[in-house]
Amino acid sequence: MGRGAATGMGSMPGTDVAEAQRIVLGEVPDLPYLPELPDRGAGAELIGRGAGFLVDLPVELYAGRWRVAGRGGRDLRRTHDLLERDLDQMTEQADQYAGPFKVQAAGPYTLAASIDLALGGRILRDHGAVRDLSESLAEGLRTHVADVRRRLPAATVLLQLDEPSLPAALAGRIATDSGLHTYRSIEATTAASTLRTVVEAVGVPVVVHCCAADVPLDVVRSSGAAAVALDLDLVEKLDPLGEAIDAGLGLFAGGAPAPSATMADRVREMWRRLGFPAARLPEQVVVTPACGLAGVADARAVLKACHEAARRLAEDD
């Protein structure tokens, strides 16, 4: 990543992937990404797209939920078709791009907390099934990343793992279907090992994105991830974040939606409170929206504000 980079979290509003890719390449040129358009429906949203990467673990829609299936059907074919269209647009519009380029996918715990087993209950209920899912996802994302690298040979690919459910899985807060109970909590060491399965398989730097109040920074660090992406508004304790950054973990700092000057001030103040030299900020911090932009009316403006904030921060040094 270059000095003073900005990027988005992945999702964009609307259904026109060509326009979404043009916006991304135009507004965050230092770290563009493959946009995701969940407004297109099942198979384009976080869980459906993530499930589409699973190898030898087919899924299907049943009563509006994704569940493990005996074999792949039309739901999975549609998921794969949507991704292929997106990749074709990326190839067409970014074929000459040289620099870091990011792709995103749901992480193993978010998928395990959202996909049902064939006999009922979430995959999360069965720790062996979670392990199988992580290995399946690792293989699928390894292939996906290799495909993107082949399509964009001058680019340096990054993978973002979206893990909004990770804190709840660690704390045992994922409710069963009845709502009367919760699934067993996951040990931090187990979670780190599960994430590491994916991190080590893909062979590119991985960013773990978690838009929750209690991001498990120790788990992210132990997984071998290169960076963590979080919402600055939800950071309650600075010391763990400072320790992670001091150990070399990169930070994707979610500050938007906000004017670019305000966003830059927020990141700058956070960095000052952590006690790090100003010169390190643009080298170790990427400015981002707080989360995805699927429900945002003017995603272009948000990305532009992130880019301008990152440039302001780079000019401080």
Q: How far apart are CA 53 and CA 2, in angstroms?
A: 29
The four Cα atoms 200, 204, 210, 211 give a dihedral, to 10 degrees, of: -170
Percent with pLDDT over 70 in the chain: 99
Closest CA to 221 of 238, 187, 246: 246
pLDDT tens, position by position, 18-57:
999 999 999 999 999 999 999 999 999 999 999 999 999 9
| Residue found by looking up tokens 């292939």 in the block | 143
Q: Are 160 and 105 in contact (CB under 8 A)?
A: yes
Q: Are 261 and 245 in contact (CB under 8 A)?
A: no
Domain presence at residue 266: no
pLDDT at 2: 62
What's the Cα-to-Cα distance from 7 to each of 52, 154, 211, 251, rounded to whole Å? 24, 19, 15, 12
Domain presence at residue 138: yes
User: Which residues does residue 253 pair with via DSSP β-bridges, in sequence order?
Assistant: 230, 287
pLDDT tens, position by position, 91-146:
999 999 999 999 999 999 999 999 999 989 999 999 999 999 999 999 999 999 99
Across the range 177-190, mean pLDDT stands at 92
Angle, alpha carbons 114-176-223 (nearest 5°): 50
Domain presence at residue 160: yes
Domain presence at residue 230: no
Q: How many domains does the chain have?
A: 1
What does the block give as tokens for 110? 């978010």
207 pLDDT band (50/70/90 cuts)?
A: very high
Across the range 162-173, mean pLDDT stands at 96
Across the range 171-193, mean pLDDT stands at 93
Domain presence at residue 300: no
Q: How far apart are CA 157 and CA 165, in angstroms?
A: 25
Residue 204: pLDDT over 80: yes
Helix (H) or strand (E) holding 24: helix 17-27
Domain presence at residue 10: no
Residue 257: pLDDT over 80: no
- Expressed as residue numbers, the domain containing 89 is 41-225
Q: Are 160 and 9 in contact (CB under 8 A)?
A: yes
- Mean pLDDT for the chain overall: 95
pLDDT at 260: 79
pLDDT at 180: 84
What does the block give as tokens for 170? 């660690």
Helix (H) or strand (E) holding 68: strand 65-68
Domain presence at residue 25: no
pLDDT at 317: 60
pLDDT at 196: 98
Residue 72: pLDDT over 90: no
User: Which residues does residue 100 pair with via DSSP β-bridges, in sequence order?
Assistant: 156
Domain presence at residue 317: no
pLDDT at 1: 60
